[in-house]
Structure formats: structure tokens, C-alpha cells
Amino acid sequence: MRVTPAEAPQIARRSVLFVEEKFGVELRYTAESLVFVEAVVDRIRATGASEEQASGLLAGLGCYAGEVLVRHARASWRGVAEVKADAPSRFPVLLILPGAKVCDPLACVFARFADPASDGLATLYDLALAAPSTGPGRPPEHEHARDPRRST
């Protein structure tokens, strides 16, 4: 699926309609709805679909998760080539959050599909909203939300 920063909100909207029709779950662009997105990802995995077969819907759910951050965490979509991140992304879009934090919601959704024990979207949301801190007590790094100025 081709995703650009301009297309991500429309892909998210189409995914909302599809999820409501197919799964009976209404997604309202809230932090709480991210738990339902995880449940939908788990249901898709339970069908036995491969990542390749599910990639369109997974990308759409990643766009939806990103739109939740756009609406509640002042994030903005960027093409991967526009972002100087400390790790490469396999997806064409990322989010930039205040403080130049980079967030990869599509990677988070695909990680959930591959491993249900991976950090969830609610964790991604919490980390996106967390104020950057330094020194002792700094929250653990999340592989899908990172500060590109930090070296690895």
C-alpha cells in the first residue's frame, strides 16, 4: 500500500469505515480506541492471514493510530526521507511530535501483528504524550517513538 503524508488521514478514515463494517467496532480517534485497534490486529492474526495478505489493513490501522496522535499529541505526518531518525523505517511515513520526537505507528501495528506481546499502541500513545526527560527516571525508550537527536 502506498502511503504519503497527505494520504495517511484518508487511509485512516477508510480503515475506520472498514473496521466498523467488518468487525462492528466504532473507532473515534481517542486514546481508548487504540485498545480496540490492538484487538482487531489480534483478530486478523487469528485468521491465519500472512503479513502480506493483511498488509493493507495493517497499514490502514497504523494510519489510524497515527491520526489519533495527530489529533491529541500535536503530531504531524512526514515522509521518511524528510525525517532524520536514528533508525531506518520500513514504512514511507512517520510522525514528528513536539520536541522532534519521531514516532512510527505503522511499525507498531505491524509489530503487534507479528508478536502480540510487543508494546501496544496505548504505550506508544503514552510515550508520545510524555514530556522528554533526562537522567535518572527517564522513561524507557520505545522502538516506535524515539528522539532522533539521541544516538543509539
pTM, whole model, 2 decimals? Answer: 0.84
pLDDT digits (tens, 9 = 90+) for 89-146: 899 999 999 888 899 999 999 999 999 998 888 888 888 887 554 333 333 344 455 4
Tell how far CA 77 is from the center of its chain: 11
φ, ψ for residue 79, nearest 5 deg: -70, 145
Run of H or E residues at 121: helix 121-129
Q: What is the DSSP code string of 43-90?
A: HHHHTT--HHHHHHHHHHHHHHHHHHHHHHS--EEEEGGG---SS--S
What domains can be seen in the chain, in order of their start residue?
8-128+139-146 (1.20.120.1090)
pLDDT at 152: 33
pLDDT at 124: 86
Burial class (CB in 10 A: 0-12, 13-18, 19+), 41: buried
Q: Output 148 or 20, whichever has higher pLDDT.
A: 20
pLDDT at 87: 72
Number of neighbouring beta carbons within 10 Å of residue 119 = 18
Tell how far CA 126 is from the center of its chain: 12
